[in-house]
Amino acid sequence: GAGVSQSPRYKVAKRGQDVALRCDPISGHVSLFWYQQALGQGPEFLTYFQNEAQLDKSGLPSDRFFAERPEGSVSTLKIQRTQQEDSAVYLCASSYSTDTQYFGPGTRLTVL
């Protein structure tokens, strides 16, 4: 069975470039979460969707970060004008309800 997939797996961006990270949740999962994981740290919550509605974006670190899930399935996390401090692994998780979350492989973003 297909799990959560993310693309690209690795992204290198020059400082100031815009990037878009994609997440395909497990089929039928209504809840979708984005987390940011810095090296040696646990994942930190960024934002949460239930179907197409973004119900919580309290973890987005700045207005350079934007997420969408227009049809309630695939989600895109966009980071504008990337900075070096944005370098991290971006993890997507999905859940049938809002409880047990299953993680994708992540996108490792390196900003030079």
Partner 1 sequence: QKEVEQNSGPLSVPEGAIASLNCTYSDRVSQSFFWYRQYSGKSPELIMSIYSNGDKEDGRFTAQLNKASQYVSLLIRDSQPSDSATYLCAVNTGTASKLTFGTGTRLQVTL
Q: Which residues bind partner 1 (CB under 8 A)?
A: 31, 33, 35, 40-45, 48, 55-56, 59, 89, 91, 93, 98-106
- The answer to whether residues 60 and 73 touch, using CB atoms and an 8 Å cutoff, is no
Nearer to partner 1, 45 or 66 (CB): 45
Radius of gyration of the chain (CA): 13
Residue with the two structure tokens 């040696």: 40
Distance of CA 17 to the CA centre of its chain: 17
Closest by alpha carbon to 65, among 76, 79, 54?
79
Nearer to partner 1, 25 or 43 (CB): 43
Nearer to partner 1, 83 or 105 (CB): 105
CB of 16 to partner 1, least distance (A): 28
Nearer to partner 1, 49 or 111 (CB): 49
CB of 45 to partner 1, least distance (A): 4
CB of 76 to partner 1, least distance (A): 18
> What is the β-pairing status of strands 107-111 and 10-13?
parallel
